[in-house]
Chain A
């Protein structure tokens, strides 16, 4: 803005600049209002008007092309019944949103400015599991909408509100988290799990989560957060100066005190947290989502306890049991693979034995 005012502007006093800025405020407000009107008009212009049927499944309002109600009932209803119905009895976002479901040979575009439309669309040759994954994804998006403006949503973000796609991946992320708290959690200490999930307040230099060497790794892995302010210090840290790493981290923690801004320092990431949230909801059973929302502006641990109807440590203990049951068998199926390879080898040997006649030239 100063550049726009020209060289004379740079010589204005602070008071004059403030006065000048104040005159711009009404203009800005007017511009924003006009932009909002234009955006709404643009959204309406993108509306697609096609004949649709509406199917109600649990809390979901599903829009379908006429004739596809049956398949929507089957697929969406199946997902709803198995994954969400046992614990989800109320959700403002889910009630407000619409799901447009289409699984057919010719897909059509649909959009509406009246409500948020979440689209699950697939060609007929897509497998049913593909459509079910899509249904879970859009339900998850709506449910995350319930948490958007809450403390839980801000301070304890999760990747999704749906069953973990790959529990083995969750186990892997826990086992490989570079944090002594995460290692202790894997070994079965519930309090360490609470720490590794960031559910207990962490003081000082996050000593309860990371050793000095782990803090070095943490700073290295998140170098982009530090590089702007202190590139030389970051270089020293990356080359192994533990004290410099701690200084960088302390400086960051002094500047950013909110849990939201420190979320990246939580050892367990969004997927692992999502697995705990899912576990708490399923464990809590009937009405657990409602209880979570009722405490969504409390500390995340309080909300999880309310959802699961368990004390924090008990919840950690049960989640840990689930985690151990998800441990991958790294070489599962090796015997079958070797057998398959052996059969192919025999086939290729047979081809080699008959491939061509011996020749003299």
Chain B
């Protein structure tokens, strides 16, 4: 039962997933672009400073790519269920939880493709530059973080998309509205209640998501391929 599920998911997503796999391979290489030679200067003059500046410039793109990959995987996993009104699922001799677990498993295997591609790209990037003293490359740790981040965003959107489209829309719209209006509402309430002057509700909520034990804590660590 697992193989057809994986095959179905693959069929749904392959057109979108392949560019993401290529991007995951290319991103680490982009982050060290130009560090083999800095303009016309010989290699040994490149300082640690240049390495980390380049690495830091690309660092925000890594979690963004992980999030986009996870979201794409999640939305595609329930796509055909919604389109076909769950007829296929109901025709199977499976309970709901078994069906969801199989789907999740299929998505997890597919997430390994960009992660493996990222791992290869990161190792190739790390091997292609001679690092100055004091700097290290972290291809393995970064790949683990990348995969975990894909899975975290995948799981959230998977859970949302598992419901009806209506429920998903309500939750997503509610969250967006909260983030857009919450700040202003907090300021207005702060004019009347002292407690609201001290608390940034939206900021606190977003920090809670990425802080210790939050669902997206894994997004908050270092995303530098090359660092001290």
Chain A residues at the B interface, C-beta cutoff of 8 Å? 123, 125, 171-172, 174-179, 183, 186-187, 211, 213-214, 217, 240, 327-328, 330-331, 333-334, 337-338, 340-342, 344-345, 348-349, 351-361
List of B residues within 8 angstroms of A327 by Cβ: 228
Contact indicator B39/A330 (Cβ below 8 Å) = no
CA–CA, A358 to B82, complex, Å?
Answer: 10
Contact indicator A352/B217 (Cβ below 8 Å) = no
Q: Known contacts A337-B148, A359-B164; is A176 also within 8 Å of B159 by CB?
A: no
List of B residues within 8 angstroms of A337 by Cβ: 145, 148, 217-218, 221
**Cβ contact of A217, chosen from B47, B134, B138, cutoff 8 A:** B47
List of A residues within 8 angstroms of B138 by Cβ: 330-331
- Provide the main secondary structure of the chain A interface: helix
**Cβ contact of B133, chosen from A123, A125, A187, A217, cutoff 8 A:** A187
- Is B213 at the interface (CB under 8 A from chain A)? yes
- Is B49 at the interface (CB under 8 A from chain A)? yes
CA–CA, A354 to B95, complex, Å?
Answer: 10
How distant is B170 from chain A, measured CB to nearest CB, in Å? Answer: 12
List of A residues within 8 angstroms of B227 by Cβ: 330
Q: Known contacts A183-B132, A327-B228, A340-B218; is A334 also within 8 Å of B39 by CB?
A: no
How many A-B residue pairs have C-beta atoms within 8 angstroms? Tell me. 135
List of B residues within 8 angstroms of A123 by Cβ: 198
Contact indicator B45/A213 (Cβ below 8 Å) = yes
Contact indicator A328/B198 (Cβ below 8 Å) = no
CA–CA, A333 to B141, complex, Å?
Answer: 11
20 chain-A/chain-B pairs, Cβ below 8 angstroms: A171-B228, A175-B48, A175-B228, A176-B134, A176-B228, A183-B48, A183-B132, A183-B134, A213-B41, A327-B228, A330-B136, A337-B218, A341-B149, A341-B217, A342-B148, A342-B151, A353-B97, A356-B163, A356-B164, A358-B89
Contact indicator A355/B162 (Cβ below 8 Å) = yes
Contact indicator B215/A358 (Cβ below 8 Å) = no
List of B residues within 8 angstroms of A214 by Cβ: 45, 47
**Cβ contact of B144, chosen from A172, A217, A334, A340, cutoff 8 A:** A334
Q: Known contacts A334-B141, A340-B217, A341-B217; is A356 also within 8 Å of B52 by CB?
A: no
The interface on chain B, measured as residues whose beta carbon lies within 8 A of the other chain's beta carbons, has a size of 54
Contact indicator B145/A334 (Cβ below 8 Å) = yes
How distant is B181 from chain A, measured CB to nearest CB, in Å? Answer: 26
Contact indicator B39/A356 (Cβ below 8 Å) = no
CA–CA, A14 to B168, complex, Å?
Answer: 83
CA–CA, A340 to B138, complex, Å?
Answer: 21
List of B residues within 8 angstroms of A348 by Cβ: 155-156, 158-159, 215
CA–CA, A351 to B104, complex, Å?
Answer: 12
Which A-chain residue is minimally distant from B100 (CB atoms)?
A353
Q: A352-B162, A355-B167 are known; give 18 further A-B pairs, CB within 8 A.
A: A175-B48, A176-B52, A178-B50, A183-B47, A187-B133, A330-B136, A330-B227, A331-B221, A331-B222, A337-B145, A340-B213, A341-B216, A342-B151, A345-B151, A348-B159, A352-B158, A353-B96, A357-B96
Of A175, A327, A337, A352, chain B has the most CB atoms within 10 Å of the CB of A352
Contact indicator B144/A338 (Cβ below 8 Å) = yes
Which A-chain residue is minimally distant from B47 (CB atoms)?
A178
Contact indicator B198/A125 (Cβ below 8 Å) = yes
- Is B16 at the interface (CB under 8 A from chain A)? no
For B181-210 the 0/1 string (1 means CB < 8 A from A) is 000000000000000001000000000000
How distant is B224 from chain A, measured CB to nearest CB, in Å? Answer: 7
**Cβ contact of A331, chosen from B49, B145, B164, cutoff 8 A:** B145
List of B residues within 8 angstroms of A338 by Cβ: 144, 148, 218
How distant is B104 from chain A, measured CB to nearest CB, in Å? Answer: 5
Contact indicator B228/A211 (Cβ below 8 Å) = no
- Is B152 at the interface (CB under 8 A from chain A)? yes
List of A residues within 8 angstroms of B38 by Cβ: 213
Contact indicator B49/A178 (Cβ below 8 Å) = yes
Contact indicator A349/B158 (Cβ below 8 Å) = yes
How distant is A211 from chain B, measured CB to nearest CB, in Å? Answer: 6
How distant is B161 from chain A, measured CB to nearest CB, in Å? Answer: 8
Which A-chain residue is minimally distant from B194 (CB atoms)?
A123
- Is B90 at the interface (CB under 8 A from chain A)? yes
List of B residues within 8 angstroms of A358 by Cβ: 86, 89-90, 96
CA–CA, A358 to B162, complex, Å?
Answer: 10
Contact indicator B133/A355 (Cβ below 8 Å) = no
Task: Pick the 3 closest A-B CB pairs, nearest first.
Answer: A353-B97, A352-B162, A175-B134
- Is B83 at the interface (CB under 8 A from chain A)? no
For B46-85 the 0/1 string (1 means CB < 8 A from A) is 0111101000000000000000000000000000000001
Which B-chain residue is minimally distant from A337 (CB atoms)?
B218
List of A residues within 8 angstroms of B158 by Cβ: 348-349, 352
- Is B3 at the interface (CB under 8 A from chain A)? no
CA–CA, A357 to B200, complex, Å?
Answer: 37
CA–CA, A67 to B138, complex, Å?
Answer: 54
Interface residues of B in 95-116 (CB under 8 A from A): 96-97, 100-101, 104
Which A-chain residue is minimally distant from B50 (CB atoms)?
A178
**Cβ contact of A355, chosen from B48, B49, B136, B159, cutoff 8 A:** B159
Contact indicator B148/A341 (Cβ below 8 Å) = yes
Contact indicator A331/B101 (Cβ below 8 Å) = no
Contact indicator B100/A349 (Cβ below 8 Å) = yes
- Is B135 at the interface (CB under 8 A from chain A)? yes
How distant is A52 from chain B, measured CB to nearest CB, in Å? Answer: 25
